Amino acid sequence: MNRRELLSMIMSATGYAMIGSPVVLAASASTASYRSAEFTDSDQSLLSDIADTIIPRTTTPGAKDAEVAPFMTKIVDDCYSAADQAVFHDGLVAFRDHCQVRFGLDFSELSDQQRTEFLSEADQTARSYPRSQGSPAHYFIMIKQLTLFAYFTSEIVQTQVLRLVPVPGRYDGCFPYQEGETAWAI
């Protein structure tokens, strides 16, 4: 899988081009110790729980294992426009409020089934969100895109799920493919 395929997959899954993509693709700083001034620990925890519901641990590492939340907050802080940042932050507040109204609980207190159901509803709302040229996307689209991008570009996924060749050899257009092989890392 290369970056073009990853971006195409993200666009197919979310219905939007990657938000902030020119800057996001250029960003490669480590986020292992990144602490955002704009996101609280509670925000990081919520993003981690949402991402882990989108990509749970199975036989492969999940989004929490890939530590996607610090990456997501760094991209929002450093790569999103002020308008997109505002939509993202306001969206997290709305997400929390809607969860409290719907279940009377925080997202972290919901069962796996309730989390999945709640995210499915948020996804349907985001997909029916009216799009217009130049207006920011729905906040849940941003969360999904960042989750997928952070997950598939994380070291743990690159090394344990995908086949990583850090310094690729020559181009071979007729490389043999066997049914069921995993994708190549970018």
Per-residue pLDDT of the chain (186 residues; tens, 9 = 90+): 555 565 565 566 555 555 555 444 444 445 555 667 789 999 999 999 999 999 999 999 999 999 999 999 999 999 999 999 999 999 999 999 999 999 999 999 999 999 999 999 999 999 888 877 777 889 999 999 999 999 998 989 988 888 777 766 777 778 777 888 877 665
Give the torsion through C-alpha atoms of 15, 28, 186, 10, to 10 deg.
-10
Give bridge partners of residue 163 from the DSSP assignment. 184
What is the C-alpha separation between 139 and 23, in angstroms, rounded? 18
Helices 82-103, 139-152: axis angle to 10 degrees equals: 100
Residue 22 has a CB neighbour count (10 Å cut-off) of: 8
Q: Supply the DSSP string of 158-179, one letter for each residue.
A: HHHTSBP-SS--S--TT----T
